Structure 1
Amino acid sequence: MNSFLKFIGLFLLIFFAFLPLQAQKETSKSELYLGAGAGTLFSKMDFVPGVPQVYKQGIFSGISAKYISEKHLGLIVELNYVQRGWKEEFDSSTDFSYSRTLNYVDIPFMTHVYFGDKTRFVFNAGPQISLLLGDSQKMSQSLSDNLDERRANNPEARIGMQYEGMYDLSKIDYGLVGGIGMEIRTGIGDFDLEGRYYFGLGDIFTSRRSDKAYFSRSASRVIEAKLTYYIRIF
């Protein structure tokens, strides 16, 4: 709980630090909204060398702050709890299965562009930083037995380097996020429905040669759909 409160404080501090950068002389036109949202996502990892995968479904939710500095332009900052990761694909003739869930706090900082009045077309894009809270994995017993056998037969081979215990996970991830959607303004608040794509630039596993890295690339790729409810503060 203390860690979560620290993240809330950091979120608000960064958001209000950005307000002067967005503020204009005509302050009467400025608008501030606070909101809460949730959605679903589908994630993979960009592994090099490649690992066959299908999209892993997850969920996310959090709080948002939107500051409109002038007509058609503003800033959005969010604090979201996110479940992403990867799910591997195996030959249908086997009963192998493996998936890994990575739990993050995501903090995107996005430029907000909109067009329209009561119904608006919106475009959001910007950088995102993520803090890893923890992870879990699910591996079938048959896959576990197969890995043990292969490693015993070939101790020098680097088999299953993506599995738990082979590498430590990076605690910080970063990348770029962008999305498009629609905003509906009503008497009880605003509803934003948006589709997003996150392109991770950081690697979850080390890629340094000095660490005898196996993967030269291990970055997140995430498709998201989110619904956010906003209320206007001023």
Structure 2
Amino acid sequence: MIKKSLTVLLTIFALSAYSQTYVGVKGGYTMSDIAFSPVQNTRMLFADGFDYGLVFKYFNLKYFGFQAELYMVNRGYRKPIDLAELGDTLYKRVNTYIELPIFMQVRFNLKLFMIHFNAGPYIAYLVQAREGDNSSGEYQMSNISINILRDNRIDFGVLGGIGLSRDFKWGTFFAEGRVGYGYGDMQKHTYTGMPKQSKAVFQSVNVGYLYHFGNNLK
């Protein structure tokens, strides 16, 4: 009994020697599209605001931990208004979500930098929708009412990414690239005139700063 207790205590001590918590902020940029079924002639959405939010990361092992975030992100798509034309006049739809991804993270020390790999699910809640077109030369966007019979408030899916970070005594800077795929449809297929599927496909880049608590994992 004493030996088992000592083993448990030593294990807890060993894990706590590697424990470290990070809290910080991030900002980034997302490029997105919607995969419709039946297929539509869509274009990727660019230049529609920056993502920003909070980051929480925890490691209790040297190479394995998890990361959670809470931030605002813009996703959507563009498509030609008249398919018979060359496609210079485009319709644009932009959805703004509050998103919560939760990652398992693996990282390795490259001396000057840490390289890390993230993978995990996300869930997002739609807070605003905008639409418009560039028939006047520039996009004229306006807010649209969210119809809960037509528009899905909840999106969910998977994310994966790779990044680099650098630890300093006063904090950590990181940069990362990600890809994601949504399993929730943007619009409900049961609503009249809506497609059978409308799933988000997106890529993002982001940078951030983290303040760390606990022991150094290097």
Deviation at 1:92, TM superposition (A): 5.5
Q: Which runs of 4+ in 1 moved over 3 A?
A: 89-95, 211-214
Q: How many residues were matched structurally? A: 187
After superposition, the Cα gap between the structure-2 partners of 1:39 and 1:91, relative to the gap in structure 1 and judged at 3 Å, is farther
**Structure 1 residue aligned with 2:18:** 29
**Structure 2 residue aligned with 1:51:** 40
Kindly indicate which of the two structures has a greater share of residues assigned to helix: 1
**Structure 2 residue aligned with 1:185:** 167
Q: CA RMSD in A?
A: 2.1
Deviation at 1:84, TM superposition (A): 1.1
TM (norm. structure 2) is 0.79
Aligned counterparts of 1:177 and 1:51: Cα–Cα separation in 2: 24
**Structure 2 residue aligned with 1:70:** 61
Q: Secondary structure at the match of 1:50?
A: coil
8 A contact 1:118–1:186 mirrored in 2: no
**Structure 2 residue aligned with 1:128:** 122
Deviation at 1:70, TM superposition (A): 0.3
Deviation at 1:187, TM superposition (A): 2.9
Q: Secondary structure at the match of 1:71?
A: coil
Aligned counterparts of 1:127 and 1:54: Cα–Cα separation in 2: 25
**Structure 1 residue aligned with 2:211:** 231
Aligned counterparts of 1:31 and 1:129: Cα–Cα separation in 2: 26
Aligned AA (1:73): F
8 A contact 1:206–1:213 mirrored in 2: no
After superposition, the Cα gap between the structure-2 partners of 1:118 and 1:67, relative to the gap in structure 1 and judged at 3 Å, is farther
Deviation at 1:91, TM superposition (A): 6.0
Q: Secondary structure at the match of 1:28?
A: helix
Aligned AA (1:67): Y
Aligned counterparts of 1:170 and 1:100: Cα–Cα separation in 2: 14
Aligned counterparts of 1:177 and 1:125: Cα–Cα separation in 2: 6
Q: Gaps spanning 5+ residues in structure 1: where?
A: 1-23, 143-163
8 A contact 1:97–1:139 mirrored in 2: yes
How far does the alpha carbon of each residue in 1:168-191 deviate from its partner, in whole angstroms, 9 at most, with x for none? 210000000000011111233111
Aligned AA (2:58): Y
**Structure 1 residue aligned with 2:77:** 86
Deviation at 1:95, TM superposition (A): 4.9
TM (norm. structure 1) is 0.74
Q: Secondary structure at the match of 2:185?
A: coil
**Structure 1 residue aligned with 2:100:** 107
How far does the alpha carbon of each residue in 1:120-176 deviate from its partner, in whole angstroms, 9 at most, with x for none? 11001100000000101013569xxxxxxxxxxxxxxxxxxxxx98x7210000000
Aligned counterparts of 1:229 and 1:190: Cα–Cα separation in 2: 6
- Taking only the aligned residue pairs, the percentage that are identical comes to 26
Aligned counterparts of 2:17 and 2:197: Cα–Cα separation in 1: 48
Deviation at 1:218, TM superposition (A): 0.2
